[in-house]
Amino acid sequence: MVERKATSKSIIDGELLVVLRERSSVYQCHYKIDGKWQRTSTKQRDIKQAIEVAKDIYKEAHWKKKNQVAPITRYFRDVAKTVIKKLQDALDSGEGKAVYKDYITAINRYLVPALGKYYVDSIDWKAFAYFEEQRKKKMKGKEATKSTKFTHNAALNRVFDEAIYRGYMVEANRLVLKAKGKASEKRVEFSLEEVTAIRSNFDAWIEKGRVDTIELRKLLKDYVEVLLDTGARAGKEVLDLKWAHIELREEKEITNTGIRVEPDDVDDRGYELQNWRRNRSVFIKILTGKTSKKNGVLIGRTALGNISTVKALEGIAERNYGMTLEEVIRKHPQDAIFRYKEYQSKRNNKINLPVKLLPPTDLVKLFRVYLEEHNLYIDPVTGKRRPPYCLRHTYATLRLLHENTKPNILVEQMGTSLTMLQKHYSHINVYKAASQLRDDNIRSLIAVSNKIDEKYEYREVKKSKQTNKKVS
């Protein structure tokens, strides 16, 4: 309830007041509607005139409510700020969903610039068409995908929900939004041959770099190796990892070869040759990303990294700490993994200063440079660009196509859903079934005999009068 001040006068007890604010000579009208206090200026300096204006405001507000019109409204941008704060507070408390970040981006980047100056209850189809026009300009003329429109519509509905809750608009004024954007296109990946080229060319490319870029180029190589080996999402899922999130595993495997070796000395017992494999791998606890929370609780997921990931992590540990991977995990558990040594030289006055480990800020750009310099950036089939995220799609494609990995295992490893796998990788089933779809046996069976049964031999058919009749 509004606090009664010496400068306020009650007109209807508990329902309507006029208030003179501090450092102001103009009276405000405070009135209650739908159990919530609203306030607006009377624009009057005289108390008697302010009271009459307040009564009119109060009557008009209740008339609007009765006739399904918002009794008071606000600009869209003001309501949007409240929504953004609520979403951010939910994220900060750990209760928010990952999609809240997308809503905040949609509101700040697309909705407020286009709709901010509208009253929230006046946004009609004409205003929405203007928003869509502005969105297309921001996207450089491209049509938004259906999923992008779903996100933007959901963010807009959040603003509408807040406006209705606060009495700034009524349900009857809400637009019924439908997403009819273009369907998401098939995601591009790298072929097996292209993956080989990406991995093989890295060392020579690193050596060609300027001396102050060598460490960052080495880190990019390790980053790419981990993405290709784990299927993790490029960006925060990997870049937020700490050494404490790594669990090193080694499962020795001994295989008997059946080959016996006779010793040269007097001992004639001999022995059988054996193959030893260390089978080193790591379990990675991924705590950031789309699937890091469930019902507001931080759960993360555990992904497996094979020998490529182990070697990449060993390289980082050796370069940054001069230690083995085991030592770094034990001694520096809270350090971020993907860091590189700051370049030191007389030119930048860094000689003899403690070496800093820096976070990478331009791996996406550097990856593009590397691919462009090796004719790998543009997919030759679709003509699309291939950012680091394509390494995740490459991982899934290769596992499904060449390793016959079960989809339910990939769901856990990649932190995705079976629906998403079926949606984006269903084309792989045709490749997997290629051997079964080949018609070698059918063609051989057809070619067994060239003799045609007499009943199928050519014969001239005489046309009858019935043939020429029209069918009714």
Kindly state the percentage of the chain with pLDDT values over 90.
43
Nearest partner of 368 among 358, 354, 357, 378, judged by Cα: 378
Look at residue 143 and tell me whether its pLDDT is greater than 70: yes
Q: Which of 84-98, 176-190, 314-328, 425-439 has the highest mean pLDDT?
A: 314-328
Using a 10 angstrom Cβ sphere, with 0-12 exposed, 13-18 middle and 19 or more buried, the burial of residue 334 is exposed
Task: Note the pLDDT tens digit of each residue in 147-171.
Answer: 899 999 999 999 999 988 877 887 8
**In a domain? residue 447:** no
Give the end of a domain, one of 16, 46, 66. 66
Reported confidence tier of residue 98, pLDDT bands at 50, 70, 90: confident
Angle CA 317–323–329, to nearest 5: 65
- Supply the pLDDT for residue 268: 54
Reported confidence tier of residue 439, pLDDT bands at 50, 70, 90: low
Say whether pLDDT at 242 is over 90. yes
291 has pLDDT over 60: no
Q: Assess if residue 451 is contained within a domain.
A: no
Residues 295 and 381 in one domain: yes
Taking CA atoms, 384 is separated from 6, 187, 289, 444, 466, in Å, by: 69, 9, 25, 42, 60
Which of 141, 173, 205 marks a domain boundary? 173
Looking at the structure of the chain, the number of domains it has is 3
Q: What are 182's strand-pairing partners? A: 145
- Domain-embedded: residue 402: yes
| Any domain includes 60 | yes
Contacts of residue 134, defined as CB under 8 A and 6 or more positions apart, other chains included, come to 110, 113, 114
Phi-psi map region of 61: left, alpha, beta (phi>0 left; psi -120 to 50 alpha)? alpha
Q: What is the pLDDT of residue 73?
A: 67
Closest among 302, 363, 360 to 336, alpha carbons compared: 360
Mean pLDDT for the stretch of residues 235-256: 87
**DSSP state at residue 335:** S
Query: 136 with 58, same domain?
Result: no
Could you tell me the two tokens for 409? 């295992």
pLDDT at 172: 76
In a domain, 419, yes or no: yes
Name the band, by pLDDT with cuts 50, 70 and 90, for residue 354: confident
Same domain, 135 and 200: no
Mean pLDDT of the chain: 82
| Same domain as 236, residue 333 | yes
pLDDT greater than 50 at residue 471 = no
User: pLDDT tens across 398-418, in order?
Assistant: 888 888 788 889 989 998 888
pLDDT of residue 94 exceeding 90: no
Judge if 351 and 220 occupy the same domain. yes
pTM: 0.59
pLDDT at position 183 is 55
Q: Exposure string (b/e) for 42-69, b if CB count within 10 Å is 16 or more?
A: bebeeeeebbebbbebbeebeebeeeeb
Q: Do 408 and 315 share a structural domain? A: yes
Which alpha helices (H) appear in 3-115, and where do they start and end? 47-66, 76-92, 99-106, 112-115
**Measured between alpha carbons, how far is 74 from 169 in angstroms, rounded to an integer?**
9
Asked whether the predicted pLDDT for residue 208 surpasses 90, the reply is: yes
Region label for 58, one of left (φ > 0), alpha (ψ between -120 and 50) or beta (otherwise): alpha
The H-assigned helical ranges of 139-247 are 146-165, 192-208, 214-230, 236-239
Range of the domain at 327: 192-261+270-429
In this structure, the answer to whether residues 159 and 220 fall within a common structural domain is no
In this predicted structure, what is the pLDDT of residue 463? 59
Same domain, 377 and 232: yes
Residue entry with tokens 């596992």: 399
Do both 196 and 153 map to the same domain?
no
CA distance 298 to 290: 11
Give domain status of residue 435, yes or no.
Answer: no
Q: With cut-offs at 50, 70 and 90, classify the pLDDT of residue 456.
A: low
- Give the confidence band of 202 by pLDDT, cuts at 50, 70, 90: very high
Instruction: Give the model's pLDDT for residue 3.
Output: 45
Contact call for residues 216 and 366 (beta carbons, < 8 A): yes
Q: Which of 173, 208, 233 is the last residue of a domain?
A: 173
Are both 33 and 139 inside the same structural domain?
A: no
Percent helix, strand and coil across the chain, each to the nearest 5: 45, 15, 40
The pLDDT tens digits of the residues spanning 65-87 come to 776 555 566 789 989 999 999 99
Where does the pLDDT of residue 311 fall: very low under 50, low under 70, confident under 90, or very high at 90 and above?
very high
Work out the pLDDT band at 180, boundaries 50, 70, 90. Answer: low
Q: Give the chain's end-to-end CA distance (angstroms, integer).
A: 84
Looking up residue 416, the CATH number of its domain turns out to be 1.10.443.10
**Cα separation, 234 vs 414, whole angstroms:** 11
On whether both 253 and 221 belong to a single domain, the answer is yes
3-state DSSP call for residue 157?
helix
Residue 387 has pLDDT above 70, yes or no: yes
Q: Is the pLDDT of residue 205 over 80?
A: yes
Predicted pLDDT at 329: 96
Is 59 a domain residue?
yes
| Spatial CA neighbour of 224 closest among 368, 327, 321, 357 | 368
- Between 465 and 278, where is the model more confident? 278
Confidence of residue 209 (pLDDT cuts 50, 70, 90): very high
* Domain presence at residue 361: yes
Q: For position 337, what pLDDT does the model report?
A: 97
Residue 419: which pLDDT band, with cuts at 50, 70 and 90? confident
Same domain as 55, residue 116 = no
Coil/strand/helix, residue 18: strand
